[in-house]
Structure 1
């Protein structure tokens, strides 16, 4: 029997932000289907799990078709699946690695969106919420490729929302800063490392780990996703927690102050001229 509850699909729901989001959506009244590449057991999660690899057209099509077969509709898609990259210089990743990063973090969202939109258009309703990052609007040295994927997610989300509003479908992007999740435990290493960058990238990685220790948990992001999903008039961009302050700095602070703050936070100028005293440290990244 098909559920009368609104139906949500959350990618990358086996842990971290995805698991927290799926759980909170279930508590808010959604019937939730989470996904993971290995199709984890539902267990005590309070929501169903489907096997889905966002880098595979066939896998995406099969999972969405299965959900439609079970429920007959989809009301909410949360695109959360993605992976992080260890701090590295841009030239330390081959083109193959760059393509792999984009294939999951950006084209995975495109695949999922294309799979659900025909059903949402038929319903004349739906919500798509993409999990981006503060790096979608702030620079992050030694995270250039990851930052590029998140800028792409932000631009795609805003443009898509304009396209779909008249069809009754809304798109939002949630852009958190540092979030303490298992996402940060298995970062992709560069496949073309260079000795010249080893010391500075090691320093940036240590700095990121320091900040993650005291960072917000995934529940902060999950709460914003539920808010966006249930809002009568959802915003296009949401910045939970500390990221909201970072977005204001990006908008109103002089470029020189923002630049100095980024470098100060990552300790990139310890042997050079220090930034101005009023330059804010800019905590970065999901």
Structure 2
């Protein structure tokens, strides 16, 4: 893609991976529009912030329409907005809560894509980069709903890339492992907690906090997004960080039983009190 005056739209850009990505694209020469539910923020940013709620059709259409009005096109869409979920058993979230998680993490991407693709298709070019996760190809015990949204992103993105390739549009997924952001500070708590799981919830939360403190910074992911955006022949999947790369190799080449034991050992599931 031509970097000079290329127009990028990045969702969830108020902090973490989204903010780091918007900043990196701006320094690389893109005109960047970041979005968040809160819109413009205090402080100097190298990109413009817009108000956008990915769970609201009208909000999505308004923000995309505003960028088209100002710039005439969108060359790159980075779907990053999402909600994290505190460690909990799958049965500890109600059906409405499960739907809300999917509405942001998956349907938000669908809404953004539906709003942006017609403009890209009309011009015969464009890139869509969806921020996925290693949890798109790995399970997460006590994070089943979150992992399910990331699995959905994988299937949607790969299918979409096949659909749009002949229209000059390519779709890629960036798959980080743990990333050191404030993402976990705003975790959605389960709304149907059960006493049977209280001990393991507390233990897994402590484990997750320790892992996040030692995780890669969001700039690692931002650099991979730029790589995918610039690629003459983009790949479907890009891992971000050494841990993500190792996990991808394990998923591809390790026997299923080895991977299964590794997941349970890392999370110390068999050492914890069973519900």
TM-score interval, smaller chain: over 0.9
Residues 177-226 of structure 1: CA distance to partner in whole angstroms, max 9, x if unpaired? 00010111110000000000111121111111111111100000000000
Structure 2 partner of 1:222: 222
Give 1:42 deviation, angstroms.
6.7
Large movers: runs of 4+ above 3 Å: none
Q: TM-score, length-normalised on structure 2?
A: 0.96
Q: Unpaired runs of 5+ in structure 2?
A: none
SS in 2 for 1:175: strand
SS in 2 for 1:114: helix
1:151-190 equivalences in 2 (<5 Å): 151-190=151-190
* Counterparts in 2 of 1:270 and 1:38: CA distance versus 1, 3 Å: same
Cα distance in 2 between the residues matched to 1:131 and 1:4: 24
Cα distance in 1 between the residues matched to 2:263 and 2:136: 14
Structure 2 partner of 1:71: 71
Cα distance in 2 between the residues matched to 1:98 and 1:128: 26
Q: Answer with 35-44 or 180-189: which moved more.
A: 35-44
Q: Is the 8 A contact 2:10 2:34 kept in 1?
A: yes
Cα distance in 1 between the residues matched to 2:259 and 2:178: 18
Q: TM-score, length-normalised on structure 1?
A: 0.93
Provide the alpha-carbon RMSD of the alignment: 1.3
Give 1:43 deviation, angstroms.
3.2
Give 1:41 deviation, angstroms.
2.6
1:91-110 equivalences in 2 (<5 Å): 91-110=91-110
Structure 2 partner of 1:12: 12
1:99-248 equivalences in 2 (<5 Å): 99-241=99-241, 242-248=243-249
Q: Is the 8 A contact 2:4 2:30 kept in 1?
A: no
1:49-64 equivalences in 2 (<5 Å): 49-64=49-64
Matched, 1:264 2:269: no
SS in 1 for 2:35: strand
